[in-house]
Amino acid sequence: MIFPPDFFAELRKIELEMKDLVQRAGGSSLGRGPAYASLTPPLDIYEKDGYLVLIMDVPGVEPEDLKIQYSHGFLIIAGRKAAPKYERKRNFVCLERNFGTFSRKIYIQRPLDFSDVHAVLQDGILTLRLKLREERRGGPISIPVEQAETDETEMKKTVKNIVNDENEEGEHE
């Protein structure tokens, strides 16, 4: 069976989206705890003026605690939200805020130009601007096919040259 070139990339994308969905749900449907137990920042992605713009809520995360990478079609945003330092003797009535590490892996289907990339963290909001590259897909390209040289074609050329030489000699007489 022959698969299209992007078949496995699409399959991997679906797998990552399912993992991300389960992670954002906090595994609550799998009996792993309440939905607020995981730290998965929400994000929005849109296109504007030739850029792919990503906006992610990361309140309490410092710029030095963020790591952004692009590899094999995936944009990976990872970070750490440090827990506040509380005095030892504290009797919490409610503790719902999330702390710890997070990672989001987003499949980007468009080609990007990495000479123009900007990431800004302001007031707990990460804004990432990625320049879109024009796709270079055009019409069909013709590739000429040449005849391979064999003994038979070599003999035909020799016979043709001899016949041509005899015809030229006959014309000059």
| 46-103 tens-digit pLDDT | 999 999 999 999 998 999 999 999 988 899 999 998 887 877 777 777 777 778 888 9
Share of the chain above pLDDT 90, in %: 29
Would you state the structure tokens that stand for residue 33, as one six-digit string? Answer: 């705890």
* pLDDT for the residue 38: 59
Q: How far apart, in whole angstroms, are the C-alpha atoms of residue 130 and residue 115?
A: 9
Q: Answer whether 115's CB lies under 8 Å from 131's CB.
A: yes
What residue type is 40 in one-letter code?
T
| Span of 15-24, 44-53, 112-121 with lowest mean pLDDT | 15-24
SS3 assignment, position 73: coil
Query: Across residues 30-35, what is the average pLDDT?
Result: 41
**Which fold does the domain 7-84+96-132 belong to in CATH?**
Immunoglobulin-like (2.60.40)
Question: Taking CA 59 as the corner, what is the angle to CA 57 and CA 63, rounded to the nearest 5 degrees?
Answer: 95
Provide the pLDDT for residue 132.
92
Over residues 33-53, the mean pLDDT reads 78
Residues recorded for the chain: 173
pLDDT beyond 80 at 165: no
3-state secondary structure at position 142:
coil
Task: Give residue 85's pLDDT.
Answer: 80
**Domain parsing of the chain, residue ranges:** 7-84+96-132
Give the mean pLDDT of the chain: 78
What is the model's pLDDT at position 73?
A: 87
Task: Strand 100-107: give its sheet, edge to edge.
Answer: 66-71, 74-81, 100-107
The two most distant CA atoms of the chain are separated, in Å, by 121
